[in-house]
Amino acid sequence: MNRQVRPQPSADVLPLMGNEAIARGAWEAGVRVAAAYPGTPSTEILESLGRYPAADLYAEWSTNEKVALDVAIGAALSGVRAIACMKHVGLNVAADSLMSQSYIGAHGGLVLVVCDDPGIHSSQNEQDTRLFARFAGVPVLEPSDAQEACDFTRLAFQISEDFDTPVIVRSTTRLSHTRSVVRVGARAERPSKGFVDAPGKTVTIPANARRLHPRVIEREAKLAAWLETSPLTRLETGDRTFGIVTGSTAYLYVKEVVPRASILKLGAAWPLPEEALRAFAASVDRLLVVEELEPALETAIRAMGLAAEGKAFFPRAGELSPELVRAGLAAAGLAEAAPAPRSLGIEPMARPPVLCAGCPHTGAYLALRGIDARVAGDIGCYTLAAVEPLRSIDTTVCMGASIGNAVGMAAAGEKKPIVATIGDSTFLHSGIPPLIDAVYNKANVTVVILDNAITAMTGGQDHPGTGRTLRGESAPKVDYESICRAVGVTWIRRVDPYDIGHMYQTLREAIVHKGVSVVISERPCVLDPVKIKGAPLAVAEERCVACQSCMNLGCPALIWSDALYEGRHRVAIDAAACIGCTLCAQVCPTDCIQPMALA
């Protein structure tokens, strides 16, 4: 139980982000197929894998997380090592495949990397993938730093093959995006095992599934027994007045706060090595569990009949930190409380999130606010239109929910015009089935497809609508209008969101159409794949009447001037930030916003 995971003999030491280290571990393990849908904090894993030679591995951006997992499953059943990567909410999308694949097994080696987002830095909720792993009956490994991210990923493939199981490697935002030194090794080429020709195992009809489920339970017991002496289970003997069970990045916080404590570090959060846990509990006077998010370990340890404490002292929501761990241990009477921070008497300025200067979504949502519609939003940069000053989105649930939500609003008798807004990548991810549903059920809704020709929110990744693959190769390009016509939509208009008048008029026409209408808002993202920069605009100060109409855009290039008009501040334009989109000029009633040379 004192053994540690050691890297393979290495020729290099590299400073790697956690996600890059996961990719490195997969490459070293000889992975041949990799698939993912981008989503913070997981995006960089596949981006990194895509930089390895195409001769080593096939890598693709999939249309959604379930497709990514299905691609990886097909590769693993064909006898090669495969990996699928996603963020925590993406596992919800892929869960259907995972639950069945747990019964089937792995064959070539199958690893899912799932990146949780404690603290909800860039997600719609907090989830704990450890609970999903237990639900599915598959092991979940939890690295605590970039070195372990590389090592554990490599080990996960071996576990997958040895125990014939999918394996989850769980990262978190803090690990995924923190950089540290990693000792890396060489790639281990793995010959294909060939397709597993065993339909009694790979076809989950009820007769087969009833036979396979007991095998999953037996496999779980074997994994738990292996973990008793595995390098993933590490005992660090110290002060015996209390002991801490922990893992993931929480382990690092514990080591920083109480470096001399007795610690049982669990590199696998499921299944649990019960004998190791009982022995550890017996060796200390008091047992605590320090874990991020849900009391997954604490609940399981208590179910073993052990007196464990945890969430009574540590929060169940949000990220942990050394400060929170210290505060929890102090509340438990096991550490000194940190001194109260000294106030500097400075209040930071509130900086609400806004769309980029010149973002094409700005014009679309300004027009939507003008028609006073009930707007069902979706997941993307454009979700920022839910807050001031655009304030034109009423609901946002999850990827692809907007159109279905709109259908439900119409069915419920909502009186306002009902509009669903959805980005191009999100539409391909999970927007087509609800559009079919809307047409099939004759819903009176308008769908606005916000096509900015990229997956913008996660950093500008390609998708089937961009005409490029992960490796930048040319690919067939989806035509959104053709898709909409194919599923039965008859009223379709394309519009440039930089033309606010046309956008407004088009939406007015769309909402009076009986049935499903589709507006395709077409204008590329101003940042990806290249930053767009046109001639900046400027304000002719003497004509500005401080009406603030332009400020309704929420454009960060629009700033307040020191000059006053009837006691109100006039507006100015930050030339460095302005891209010359002219949206502000179109809404200015005094025509005081002009190209810089004329202002």
- CATH of residue 483's domain is 3.40.50.970
- List of residues 6+ apart from 462 with CB closer than 8 A: 61, 454, 455, 468, 469, 470, 472
Residues 388 and 549: beta-carbon distance below 8 Å = no
- Please report, for the domain that includes residue 285, its CATH number: 3.40.50.920
pTM of the model: 0.93
**Whole-angstrom Cα distance, residue 60 to residue 56?**
13
Residue 356 assigned ligand-binding role: no
121 within a domain of the structure (yes/no)? yes
310 within a domain of the structure (yes/no)? yes
CA atoms within 13 A on the CB side of 188: 16
Residues 103 and 146 in one domain: yes
- List of residues 6+ apart from 482 with CB closer than 8 A: none
Residues 52 and 148 in one domain: yes
Residues 221 and 365 in one domain: no
Residues 65 and 164 in one domain: yes
440 within a domain of the structure (yes/no)? yes
The single-letter code of the amino acid at 540 is A
Residues 462 and 61: beta-carbon distance below 8 Å = yes
Picking from 522, 546, 580, the residue at the C-terminal end of a domain is: 522
The 3-state secondary structure of 146-161, one letter per residue: HHHHHHHHHHHHHHHH
Picking from 194, 209, 227, the residue at the C-terminal end of a domain is: 227
- DSSP state string for 65-122: HHHHHHHHHHHHHTTS-EEEEEEHHHHHHHHHHHHHHHHH--SS-EEEEEEE-TT-SS
Q: Which residue has the tokens 């237990």?
A: 134
Tell me which long-range contacts 282-287 makes (C-beta under 8 A, separation of at least 24).
283/237, 283/240, 283/243, 284/240, 284/241, 284/242, 284/243, 285/240, 285/241, 285/242, 286/241, 286/242, 286/243, 286/334, 287/242, 287/243, 287/245
Residue 581 assigned ligand-binding role: yes
Residue 547 assigned ligand-binding role: yes
Residue 578 assigned ligand-binding role: yes
The single-letter code of the amino acid at 135 is F
* Alpha-carbon distances, residue 100 vs 96, 121, 132, 593 (angstroms): 7, 31, 13, 60
Residue 115 assigned ligand-binding role: no
Q: Which pLDDT tens digit goes with each residue over 269-306?
A: 999 999 999 999 999 999 999 999 999 999 999 999 99
Residues 276 and 180 in one domain: no
Residues 373 and 285 in one domain: no
Residue 584 assigned ligand-binding role: yes
110 within a domain of the structure (yes/no)? yes
387 within a domain of the structure (yes/no)? yes
Residues 389 and 460 in one domain: yes
Token pair of 62 as six digits? 């999939």
Picking from 458, 493, 522, the residue at the C-terminal end of a domain is: 522
Q: What local confidence, expressed as pLDDT, does residue 498 receive?
A: 96
Tell me which long-range contacts 324-329 makes (C-beta under 8 A, separation of at least 24).
324/253, 325/250, 325/253, 325/254, 325/256, 325/257, 325/290, 326/257, 328/290, 329/257, 329/258, 329/288
192 within a domain of the structure (yes/no)? yes
Residues 219 and 248 in one domain: no
Residues 139 and 223: beta-carbon distance below 8 Å = yes
**Whole-angstrom Cα distance, residue 592 to residue 583?**
13
72 within a domain of the structure (yes/no)? yes
Residues 500 and 555 in one domain: no
Label the pairing between strands 446-451 and 517-522: parallel
E-strand spans in 317-474? Answer: 374-376, 418-423, 446-451
Domain hosting 479: range is: 360-522
The closest alpha carbon to 39, from 103, 127, 110, belongs to 127
Q: What local confidence, expressed as pLDDT, does residue 556 receive?
A: 94
Token pair of 341 as six digits? 């921070």
Residues 380 and 265 in one domain: no
Q: Which residue has the tokens 């304000």?
A: 539
**Whole-angstrom Cα distance, residue 291 to residue 263?**
13
Q: Which residue has the tokens 């950093």?
A: 459
Token pair of 593 as six digits? 């916003």
Q: What local confidence, expressed as pLDDT, does residue 530 receive?
A: 85
Q: What is the pLDDT along the chain (599 residues), one digit of tens a residue?
A: 444 444 444 458 999 999 999 999 999 999 999 999 999 999 999 999 999 999 999 999 999 999 999 999 999 999 999 999 999 999 999 999 999 999 999 999 999 999 999 999 999 999 999 999 999 999 999 999 999 999 999 999 999 999 999 999 999 999 999 999 999 999 999 999 999 999 999 999 999 999 999 999 999 999 999 999 999 999 999 999 999 999 999 999 999 999 999 999 999 999 999 999 999 999 999 999 999 999 999 999 999 999 999 999 999 999 999 999 999 999 999 988 888 888 888 888 777 788 999 999 999 999 999 999 999 999 999 999 999 899 999 999 999 999 999 999 999 999 999 999 999 999 999 999 999 999 999 999 999 999 999 999 899 999 999 999 999 999 999 999 999 999 999 999 999 999 999 999 999 999 999 999 999 999 999 998 888 999 999 999 889 999 989 999 999 999 999 888 888 899 999 999 999 999 999 999 999 999 886 65
Residues 320 and 238 in one domain: yes
Residues 129 and 245 in one domain: no
Residue 588 assigned ligand-binding role: yes
- Please report, for the domain that includes residue 570, its CATH number: 3.30.70.20
**Whole-angstrom Cα distance, residue 136 to residue 336?**
41
Residue 555 assigned ligand-binding role: yes
531 within a domain of the structure (yes/no)? no
- Structurally, the chain folds into a number of domains equal to 4
Other Cβ atoms within 10 Å of 514 Cβ, number: 8
**Whole-angstrom Cα distance, residue 153 to residue 79?**
18
Residues 519 and 507: beta-carbon distance below 8 Å = yes
